[in-house]
Structure 1
Amino acid sequence: MRQALIAAFAALLAAGTAAVHAGTLVDLAVVNRATGERIPVHAHRGRLYVAGAPGTKYSLLLNNKSGERVLTVVSVDGVNVITGDTAAPAQSGYVLGPWGSVGIEGWRKSMSEVAAFVFTPLPDSYAARTGRPGNVGVIGVAVFREYQPRPPEFYPLEQPAPFSGPGARSEAREGAARGAAPASPPADALSRIAPKPEEKLGTGHGEREASEARWTNFRRDSAYPAEMISVYYDSRANLIARGVIPSAPRAEPNPFPGFRFTPDPRG
C-alpha cells in the first residue's frame, strides 16, 4: 500500500465554464490565476490544447466525478509535480475524495509549500533547467481507482473435459496468456509534440506559496491507470501558426478606400 497526498483546496472558481476533459472519472481544467477563469480549450487532430502567455501563473483543477476515492498522478512537462522525478504512472499523486476537487498550484516543495506554476519560455522552464527539455508543453494526469475487497466466489466442481491431451492444455494456456496480456498504453501517452523552429512555452519554477497537504494511504485497484488525460499547451502565436487556433480573417483590400458620398458641411 503506497502513500499519497491530499491537498487542501481553497480556490473558488467561476462556474459554467467547460472542463478540459470530460472524462469518465476526473475532469481537468487549466486555470488562469490572475483572472480565476479556466483557459479555453482547443481540440485539434485528436488532442486538446490551451494557450498560455509568459509570466502568467496557472493552476490545475481536478474534479472527481465518481463516488469513490481516486488517485491522480500529475505531471507537467514530463515531471512529477510532487516528487520532481521524471514522471511515471506508478509514482506518488494526489487523492481526491468522492465527488471531491483539488487545486494544484505548483511544484510541491514540502507539506506546506509549493513553487508556483508559471508559463515561461522553454529555456527557463523547470524541466529544461533540470536537464529534461524533451517533454515540455504537456500536462498529464493518470487516474487510478481504489482497491475494493471482493466477496469470495464459489464455483461448482469441475467436470472432466471432453479431451484433455497435451495439445488442448497447451492451447488453453496460450489463450489464457493472450487474454491476460496487459493492454498497450494509449497512443496519446506515447506521442510527442513535433519540434518547431520557434521557441515553445514551458512551465517555470515560480515563487514559493503556502499550500497545505497531508499523507494518506491508497491502494490501487490496478497497476494500469483507469484513465489517462493529456493536455498540450503553447503560446497563442505558436498555436495559431500550427493551425490549432484559427487565425483572424484578413479583410480584403479595397481599391478605392476613400469612396463615399458627399458629406454634409460642418457647423
Structure 2
Amino acid sequence: MKPKLKFAAAAVAAGLAMLSASAVAIGNLADVRIFDRSGNRDLPIYWHEGKAYVAGRPGNEYQISIRNRAGIDVLAVVSVDGVNAVSGETASPEQTGYVLGNGVSYDIHGWRKSLSRTAAFYFTQLPDSYAARTGRPDNVGVIGVAVFRRKPVAPPVAVGSLSDRLESSPAAPAEAAHDSAASGASANKGKGASARSADSAEPRQRQSLAQPSLGTGHGRNETSLVRNVSFERATPYAEEVITIYYDSHANLLSRGIVAPVPVVRPQPQPFPGRFVPDPPRG
C-alpha cells in the first residue's frame, strides 16, 4: 500500500508502583518527552505497573517533543486523547504524521490546523478537552507516538556491458559524492529550518484529593511551519509505539502513582525554653 503524503517537521523546521520520578524522556527509536510550556520545565516520568505517567497542571500549555534516534528518517504518528494531532481523525497508526530526519528534534505545540498554524495543547478538565467536545471522550488522558522507519532506497541497477561498467567506474564515485554532498546540504538546510519551525498516602487522604480527570484542550492559534513530503514505510506496522499517560498530580496521588510530599514536623525538644514565664493572669 502506497503511503499518503506526510508532514515533514524536519524539513521546515516492576512489581509495585515506583513512586519517584526518573527520566523525562522515553523511547528507543525516538525520545518522547512532555514539556510544560507555561511552567518552562520537562515533566518527569512516573512509572507505575509498567506504564509511564506525567502530572499536568490544569490550564498550562504543553508540547510533545520528539527526537529521532533511529539512524534513518522516521515517521511519527502522534495521538492525543485518541485523536490524530495532525488530521483530527480518531487515531490509528496508519494515518498521517510528522517526518523527522536522522537526529532531528521537533516540538509539537498543538493540533495541526494548516501547514502554517497550530492550536495549542493545554491541560484542562475532561469535559473541555478537544476529544470530549468532538464526541470522543473514551481515550482522554493518554499521548501516543507510533514510529515508522523510512523504507531504504534500492541501489540503481547497472546498465550496459561489463566493459562499459568497468570503464566508467572511476568517474562514478565522484558523481556519487557530488550527489551526496548536494543532498546533504539540502538536508542540513532543512534541519536548520526545523529549528525555526521546527511515603504512601492513606486511601482516605488520596480519595479526598482526587479531582476531575485531565484532558487536552484546543487552545490559542500559533505559527508552526511544515510542508508535505512523501514517505514510504519500511514496515506496515509501527516498529515502536511510545505511550505516556497523564492526569493531575492530585489524581495520580489518589491512585498511588506518585508519592505525597511528606510533612516535615519539627523535632520535639525536651527543654524548649530558657526561663520560667509568668502564668496567665486570672
TM-score by length of 2: 0.70
- Give the secondary-structure state (helix, strand or coil) at the position aligned to 1:82: coil
Instruction: Report the AA paired with residue 152 of structure 2.
Output: Q
Among candidates 261, 268, 273, match of residue 248 of structure 1: 261
Alpha-carbon separation, structure 2, partners of 1:133 and 1:259: 60
Name the structure with the higher helix share.
2
Do structure 1's residue 233 and structure 2's residue 246 form an aligned pair? yes
Do structure 1's residue 84 and structure 2's residue 96 form an aligned pair? no
Instruction: Report the AA paired with residue 9 of structure 2.
Output: A
Instruction: Report the AA paired with residue 20 of structure 1.
Output: A
Unmatched segments (≥5 aa) in structure 2 = 14-21, 157-209, 278-282
- Give the secondary-structure state (helix, strand or coil) at the position aligned to 1:7: coil
Among candidates 215, 233, 254, match of residue 202 of structure 1: 215
2:114 matched residue in structure 1: 110
Q: How does 1:1-267 map to 2 (within 5 A)?
A: 1=2, 2-7=4-9, 18-21=23-26, 23-149=27-153, 198-250=211-263, 260-262=272-274
- Report percent identity of matched pairs: 49
Alpha-carbon separation, structure 1, partners of 2:80 and 2:142: 6
The count of aligned residue pairs is: 213
- Give the secondary-structure state (helix, strand or coil) at the position aligned to 1:218: coil
CA deviation vs aligned residue, 1:103-133 (integer Å, no higher than 9, x gap): 1000000111000000000000000000000
Alpha-carbon separation, structure 2, partners of 1:202 and 1:130: 13
Instruction: Report the AA paired with residue 28 of structure 1.
Output: V
CA deviation vs aligned residue, 1:7-53 (integer Å, no higher than 9, x gap): 2677xxxxxx94420x2210001011124321111111101111111
Instruction: Report the AA paired with residue 88 of structure 1.
Output: S
* Residue 260 (structure 1) shift: 1.4
8 Å Cα contact 2:24-2:43 kept in structure 1:
no
8 Å Cα contact 1:200-1:238 kept in structure 2:
yes
Alpha-carbon separation, structure 2, partners of 1:114 and 1:258: 63
Instruction: Write out the 4+ residue segments of structure 1 that deviate beyond 3 Å after TM superposition.
Output: 149-152, 250-254, 256-259
CA deviation vs aligned residue, 1:142-174 (integer Å, no higher than 9, x gap): 00011114579xxxxxxxxxxxxxxxxxxxxxx
CA deviation vs aligned residue, 1:58-109 (integer Å, no higher than 9, x gap): 0010000122100000000000000000000000000000111111000000
Q: CA RMSD in A?
A: 2.6
Unmatched segments (≥5 aa) in structure 1 = 11-16, 153-196
* Residue 6 (structure 1) shift: 1.5
Alpha-carbon separation, structure 1, partners of 2:63 and 2:33: 8
Alpha-carbon separation, structure 1, partners of 2:68 and 2:247: 26
8 Å Cα contact 1:126-1:205 kept in structure 2:
yes
Alpha-carbon separation, structure 1, partners of 2:227 and 2:266: 62
Alpha-carbon separation, structure 1, partners of 2:75 and 2:213: 30
- Give the secondary-structure state (helix, strand or coil) at the position aligned to 1:134: helix
Residues 260 and 133 (structure 1 numbering): CA distance in 2 closer, same or farther, change over 3 Å?
Answer: same
Alpha-carbon separation, structure 1, partners of 2:118 and 2:265: 50
* Residue 5 (structure 1) shift: 0.3
- Give the secondary-structure state (helix, strand or coil) at the position aligned to 2:132: helix
